[in-house]
A and B are shown apart, each in its own frame.
Chain A
Amino acid sequence: MSSRAEPTTIVRTRENQMPDANKELIHVKNVTKKYYRDSIEIPVLMNISLSVPEGEFLALMGPSGSGKTTLLNLIAGIDRPTAGQIIVNDQDISAFNAKAIAKWRAQHVGFVFQFYNLLPVLTAYENVELPLLLTNLSKQERKKQVELALTLVGLGDRIKHYPKQLSGGQEQRVAIARAIVTDPTIIVADEPTGDLDKNSAAEIMTLLDRLNKEFKKTILMVTHDPRAAEKAHKVMHLDKGELTN
């Protein structure tokens, strides 16, 4: 595996890496996104602009098809805007080529999906280790990071378990450990509680809240669940591709 970012530690100390709440980490400037299906133009986002300060916990809500996941994907660098700019940490990621954006994602973004998206043939440990394989870390350093991340999500005793041996809530916690193991700048979560029961959903939201409050992670979350959104500092609503508040 090739070398990429070199994360230091998941647990940033307040003294040396306090996020600057006044600093705008993400700027979405006049972003429009259109899809094309058989030459039919489908507008998804229309001239969206927003800013997210460092350390923010932002929830994006809205009806299905409103464009919230598309906006999240654009900010996370897994899709490109049709028009406009996305600037993260003073870098215009919408101008990056495929290789550069892949490298940027590996260094700066942690992903949490609705359906966990763990590789079924890998253990919890190996799934969490995946993003670290793109770094220069030694096996021993990777081990330390993975165990730390899994302990942080409360699964230090499940490292050898395969996804099918875990509950939905536990799988999502492994996914969160995978998202934070590289110490990313932003964590994006697309419906992280969408496939979980009430109790597991509450556990996941508590964990995300902790990551935001204790470790000052900037979190962008798409959700339909008002209880999940309650944990966020700020809630934005999208409807028909436009921000309504």
Chain B
Amino acid sequence: MQILKLIIRNVLRHKLRSALTILGISIAVMFFGVLRTVVDAWYSGVEASAVNRLITRHAVSFIFPLPYSYKDQIARIPGVSRVTFANWFGGIYIDQSQFFARMAVEAETYFDGYPEFIVDKDQLETFKKERNSCVIGQKIAEQYKLKIGDVMPIEGDIYPGKYEFVVRAIYKPRDEKVDATQMLFHWQYLDERLKQSQPTRAGNVGWYVITISDPSKAPLISQTIDEMFKNSRAETKSETEAAFQQSFVSMSGAILTAMNFIAFVIIGVILLVLGNTMVMTARERIREYAVLKTLGFTKGHIIGLIAGESLAISIAGGILGLFLMFPMVQGIAANIPQGMFPVFDVTQTTIILAGSSALIVGIVASVFPIWRATSMKIVDGLRQIG
């Protein structure tokens, strides 16, 4: 018989209590993981940002457009290797609950600026040639069962009117951090429609995407761009892509702070659940620990028994929680609009955080019972009624 055997038998001594504790821990670990996944999803845009890309938008807000004419001026700034642009289109596809990014982009240059969007060369060439064509992300194609040649009818809201786009390319993400839920079409097509229907809105873009050759010069180039358009009718604000994405996240800052707080409160709850179990366990077994000490077992053995039992319960709960986390996250992902969180997956960091939280809780929950059992005098322990 080894100490491990005794630990396992002790865990199984009160089966219902251990099962409920393990269940409690697993639910807490699962929710911890789900909340972390939601927070991660919010930050996925920041995570996926390229260090060599700058975003130039209107100084007041990105909802205000910038003149198309800025493109060539920006391109001439030393250190700028490529300039492209995009314009938020919005619109309604099928119904209002179907949310994903729909943007008008410069077809000729956009995909050069985003090498993480992998598009078949022939498909891309066809897209570039057809004004009313579009490129969609792989996830959108899968969700709506769209294939090359299919038509996507979209009702414009920011830009009123009926639009029909032919799917000419489907891009794949380079890795799981890349958003595969976008629909991109020709800015020129939109601009031509605007020239006819709302001429005053034509000739504008949403924001410029600037690729720079040396990421360390990002602050200098940003400053140069903004100074170039100072006192113009559309002053600019340039920043790194990560800072641009972060500004979106900051809009939901309070919610994210609350979510992070709740995630750590959950860890506290697990600690209380397991701590309570371990305190009860140690109190009931104080006489047994005294007997073991009487027989010559050392403090190390007692620590091993108590910490081992606490860890066995927390590890079992942690593993179960991790197993429950995946279907839970998949269930949530299936029930939220596809484009709301372009990346909604359990990350390795979340698994490590959730798993190590369970481990740490297992250790911390055993500290008080260990202290109690090891500091107890044998004679006092033997007098204890179990």
A binding-site residues for B, Cβ under 8 Å: 1-2, 4, 70, 73, 76, 78-79, 99, 102-103, 105-107, 111, 113, 117, 119-122, 126, 129-131, 133-134, 178
Contact = CB atoms under 8 A, between A and B. Distances in A.
A131 B297 CA distance: 8
Contact of A103 (B1, B3, B296): B296
B82 interface: no
B377 A79 contact: yes
A74 to B, nearest CB: 10
Quick one: which of B288, B294, B377, B378 has the most chain A CB within 10 A?
B294
Given A122-B6, A126-B1, A102 B379 contact: no
B1 A102 contact: no
B2 interface: yes
B220 interface: no
Contact of A2 (B291, B294, B295, B298): B298
A96 to B, nearest CB: 13
Contact of A121 (B2, B10, B297): B10
A73 B379 contact: yes
Given A4-B296, A122-B1, A117 B291 contact: yes
Contacts of A126: 1
Contact of A1 (B2, B10, B291, B293): B2
Nearest to A118: B291
Given A78-B379, A119-B291, A1 B301 contact: yes
Given A119-B6, A120-B13, 12 more contacts: A78-B294, A102-B297, A105-B294, A105-B295, A105-B296, A106-B296, A111-B291, A121-B6, A121-B9, A121-B12, A130-B295, A131-B295
Contacts of A76: 294
Interface string B1-40: 1110010011011000000000000000000000000000
* Secondary structure class of chain B's binding surface, majority of residues: helix
B287 interface: yes
A134 B296 contact: yes
B382 interface: yes
A70 B13 CA distance: 33
A120 B291 CA distance: 12
12 contacts: A78-B378, A102-B297, A105-B295, A107-B296, A111-B294, A111-B295, A119-B288, A119-B291, A121-B10, A130-B292, A131-B296, A133-B1
* Secondary structure class of chain A's binding surface, majority of residues: helix
Contacts of B9: 121-122
B217 to A, nearest CB: 64
A176 B12 CA distance: 27
Contacts of A107: 296
Nearest to A79: B379
A102 B288 contact: no
Interface in B281-332: 287-288, 291-298, 301
A120 B378 CA distance: 19
Contacts of B298: 2, 99, 102
A105 B379 CA distance: 14
Nearest to A98: B299
Given A73-B379, A78-B379, A79-B379, A117 B287 contact: yes
Contact of B296 (A73, A79, A102, A129): A102
Quick one: which of B10, B287, B296 has the most chain A CB within 10 A?
B296
A161 to B, nearest CB: 15
Contacts of A4: 296
Quick one: which of A76, A78, A107, A126 has the most chain B CB within 10 A?
A78
Given A1-B3, A120-B13, A113 B382 contact: yes
A2 B2 CA distance: 11
Contact of A129 (B1, B287, B301, B378): B1
Contacts of B297: 102, 134
Nearest to A188: B294
Nearest to A126: B1
Nearest to B381: A78
A79 B294 CA distance: 10
B16 to A, nearest CB: 16
B268 to A, nearest CB: 31
Nearest to A4: B296
Contacts of B1: 122, 126, 129-130, 133
Nearest to B300: A2
Nearest to A115: B287
B156 to A, nearest CB: 72
A78 B292 CA distance: 12
A29 to B, nearest CB: 21
